[in-house]
């Protein structure tokens, strides 16, 4: 047997069902409750349900072209592995991290290569042996693959990227 509530204004348990769209927070119907609040609460519940129904992540589809979007800022890098379904890019894998103190001095090319290496490492099993489209804000990655005789860090990274079949595309919008 349920024990009586010490607070008389509390609704009975059968009236409280926040998951339903017809939830009425007042114990006596709509007495004492602003109807705008009830409508707002119901609208919020509908929005929560619709957001929860939208698939945010998708599984990797072997038959579709993988698209990697790389982004490097002054203090962080991020990359997303995506695939296109019905004209919309859906997320498969996402990675980001802040740059270490020595990496803060890297140029744009080095930061983008670092980002690309990170996503290729994390998604290796999905991406190995496949043609990959890389979307980037800068066309400097194209320069890296066309340059001969790179030395130092860029030379090592170019050697690491050489087995991959990458198509670098500069993003013009978005």
- Binned at pLDDT 50, 70 and 90, residue 131 comes out as very high
pLDDT at 122 over 80: yes
What angle do the packed helices 152-161 and 108-122 form, to 10 degrees?
30
Q: What is the pLDDT of residues 47-82, one digit of tens each?
A: 988 888 777 788 999 999 999 999 999 999 999 999
141, 133 Cβ separation under 8 angstroms: no
Beta strands at 131-136 and 67-72: parallel, antiparallel or unpaired? parallel
CATH topology of domain 67-170: Ubiquitin-like (UB roll) (3.10.20)
Instruction: Give residue 105's pLDDT.
Output: 94
Q: What is the pLDDT of residues 4-45, one digit of tens each?
A: 544 444 444 444 444 455 555 555 555 677 888 889 999 999
Residues of the chain with CATH 3.10.20.370: 67-170
């Amino acid at each position: 047997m349920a024990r009586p509530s010490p607070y008389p204004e509390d609704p009975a348990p059968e009236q409280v069902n926040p998951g339903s769209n017809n939830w009425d927070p007042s114990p006596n119907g709509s007495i004492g409750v602003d109807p705008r609040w009830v409508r707002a609460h119901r609208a919020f519940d509908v929005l929560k349900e619709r957001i929860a129904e939208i698939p945010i992540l998708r599984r990797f589809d072997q038959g579709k072209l993988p698209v990697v979007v790389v982004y490097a800022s002054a203090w962080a890098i991020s990359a997303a592995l995506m695939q296109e379904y019905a004209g919309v890019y859906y997320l498969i894998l996402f990675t980001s991290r802040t740059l270490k103190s020595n990496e803060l001095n890297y140029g744009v090319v080095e930061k983008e290569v670092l980002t690309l290496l990170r996503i290729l490492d994390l998604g290796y099993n999905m991406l190995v042996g496949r043609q990959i489209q890389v979307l980037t804000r800068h066309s400097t990655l194209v320069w890296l693959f066309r340059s001969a005789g790179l030395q130092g860090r860029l030379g090592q990274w170019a050697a690491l990227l050489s087995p991959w079949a990458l198509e670098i595309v500069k993003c013009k919008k978005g």
